[in-house]
Structure 1
């Protein structure tokens, strides 16, 4: 992923060969990262990119890779860095990542090189691990492909209709991947596109915003599935896994593209082999698939009938109940992070670490991050009890209830300031503001 922590890869597997174990048994441990396990993961990454040899996207996935323990920031890498911070230790290179570098499964610029960064321990079974490795290696080469690393504002996917329609789309895409005949696959794809068109009709701007994230994380996850796994059967199985893995996630806002990307990409492989070689950054996967199959848009008059194929009423009832609880929760968050006393932090040169499956859109007021590490010029904010980030106003807020200007912590957050920054009273009674120097 481009930013944040991946929480869906749930089981660790360290099934490396006896030869590799014997070769690395004498290598010294560094920090809490097992050097043999790290070397095995780096070897898996090399095998994936060597197998592709740059053929798929026209650029090799092989490149600098860091395995980083988020607790002590210790690093095991496949090469040294541009400034010699990492030192050879047996078959790998070790060191410590500076506090200024974001910790996430992502791509980063550090010490003169662009890296794929992977958090240790690398979790998941063999398929999950290899998909994740190829996914993150793709992020490293995205700029070479002129693909923007953008997110899109997909808050509509936290609404009743937005959530309902994307889950219908996921179910239709799964039916298409499982379809026993070409005709059945074609019908299921037409249904998926119908549900998507209805979502775009209800939410102006959704097409652009969803495409931003699909062009970033969606294509990365498709690449991970396509190049990380060696057989068509394994790829279909994994895409089906992705279409169900996020159903119980607290939010689809930042996670939906992990489900749709592999599904659309693999269905395009069937409909138009080699489509990726003609792909132009910014093109929509749904449109490419519809054009490849020469599908004419299904009449909206058939929408309810097609909904009934994928929902017996249970999904709609569940989403209505969830939406009622969501509205109550949003009111509580607004009271806590907007209307009540807050600590205001300016956003100038920010980097974020967060769980993408937990984000809560707060309308025009920004997004609530239940957990967050926020780094900026003023220092570090660590949150485990809600923070609001408003990119339009370029501020973040946390609750300042029962906090005064001498405190650097509150309920669910801790602030570490750099020298030259202070907390001073804000313009509203009870508010606090982080500023440079001592003047309000």
Structure 2
């Protein structure tokens, strides 16, 4: 039997935020640092640790960076109450945590969102990644390529629709019903694809917990949080692919709703925690998952979603066949990566199935 693996074709994209252009000045940078510092102090109890620490804001066009504290490698110069410099070409620019010039930094690309809550959300998210190792969480950015397949996408979309309804429920009973349905779709999806529960969980422990942290630190009230979640899910569902971006919109919703009942639930999580099992604790999932999803799918626009995914699958097959022909089967230029150091858009990648005896080819 031939073994197969999935590789990812990475398509570079220029980072831009429409309608969010900002003039970069020392004053505005200082305000941003003060905002996340204050938000971190208010939420020290979230992880029993201060989120605020070494942080750099980077202009991706010029590689100019602004730091909240000095480095230990003498790369930065003091400029008022901030520190400035140029990020070396060998350091990728991304919203992430990075080790550079003697410290571990939270790195965030400029411009930042104009909305204060959105801004703090982003800064807190990346600050979580900075302290993540000290909390015992390994940084995992695994692909979930089954979420680019028809049924994987169908049952993730249904889960997302059920989460949206849970958020807008008018009673605890109604909310629990939608959460039960959301987790039923999830459990059914996971029995369709081997090891999918494990790979999904790894990404949710990484990006899901980070985004949950951003949500809590943002300072939004309940109504604002629900609007943020719903808009986020709607935007996410328009992404070309879900394989690396779903965790930003699942764990935070489950986590936020659980947080209303148990302010310490996240502190019980370890690197070995199965988040699905944790979220499902007070919920009874039906034994016959297939029969159940068939019964409840209609409540979440299941028929339309299925038709859309059947059509998408046909287009996807043609696209992948073209990529295989161009980059694998026909003559092509081959680059063997060693010590890869790359950036990419997690919402716009195409998983392509190839044989293990082939090199990675692009």
Normalising by structure 2, we get a TM-score of: 0.90
Determine which structure has more spread, i.e. the larger CA radius of gyration: 1
* Counterpart mapping for 1:262-341 below 5 A: 262-291=252-281, 293-297=282-286, 299-300=288-289, 301-311=291-301, 313-341=303-331
Determine whether 1:112 maps to 2:102.
Answer: yes
- What do residues 187-219 of structure 1 show as CA deviations (whole Å, max 9, x unaligned)? 111101110111111111100010111110111
Task: Flag the 1:212–1:226 CA change in 2: closer, same or farther, 3 A.
Answer: same
Q: Give the distance between the partners of 1:393 and 1:132, measured in 2 at CA.
A: 40
2:139 aligned partner: 149
2:236 aligned partner: 246
Question: May I ask how many residue pairs the two structures share in their alignment?
Answer: 350
Contact 1:265/1:285 (<8 A) preserved = no
Q: Please state how far the C-alpha of 1:143 moved relative to its aligned partner.
A: 0.3
1:202 aligned partner: 192
Determine whether 1:102 maps to 2:111.
Answer: no
Task: Flag the 1:154–1:224 CA change in 2: closer, same or farther, 3 A.
Answer: same
* Structure having the larger proportion of residues in helix: 2
Q: Give the distance between the partners of 2:211 and 2:149, measured in 1 at CA.
A: 25
Q: Give the distance between the partners of 2:17 and 2:183, measured in 1 at CA.
A: 29
Contact 1:151/1:212 (<8 A) preserved = yes
Determine whether 1:63 maps to 2:71.
Answer: no
Q: Give the distance between the partners of 1:99 and 1:315, measured in 2 at CA.
A: 44
Structure 1 vs Structure 2 CA RMSD = 2.2
2:9 aligned partner: none
Equivalent of 1:34, from 25, 30, 54? 25
* Structure having the larger proportion of residues in strand: 1
Q: Please state how far the C-alpha of 1:6 moved relative to its aligned partner.
A: 9.9
Contact 1:190/1:298 (<8 A) preserved = no
Structure 2 unaligned blocks of 5 or more: 1-11
Structure 1 unaligned blocks of 5 or more: 15-31, 366-391, 399-440
1:166 aligned partner: 156
Q: Please state how far the C-alpha of 1:126 moved relative to its aligned partner.
A: 2.5
**Greater relative contact order (Cα < 8 A, sep 6+):** 2
Determine whether 1:130 maps to 2:120.
Answer: yes
Q: Please state how far the C-alpha of 1:186 moved relative to its aligned partner.
A: 1.0
Q: Please state how far the C-alpha of 1:271 moved relative to its aligned partner.
A: 4.5
Determine whether 1:73 maps to 2:37.
Answer: no
Contact 2:54/2:106 (<8 A) preserved = yes
Q: Give the distance between the partners of 2:257 and 2:17, measured in 1 at CA.
A: 24
Q: Please state how far the C-alpha of 1:8 moved relative to its aligned partner.
A: 8.8
Contact 1:5/1:105 (<8 A) preserved = no
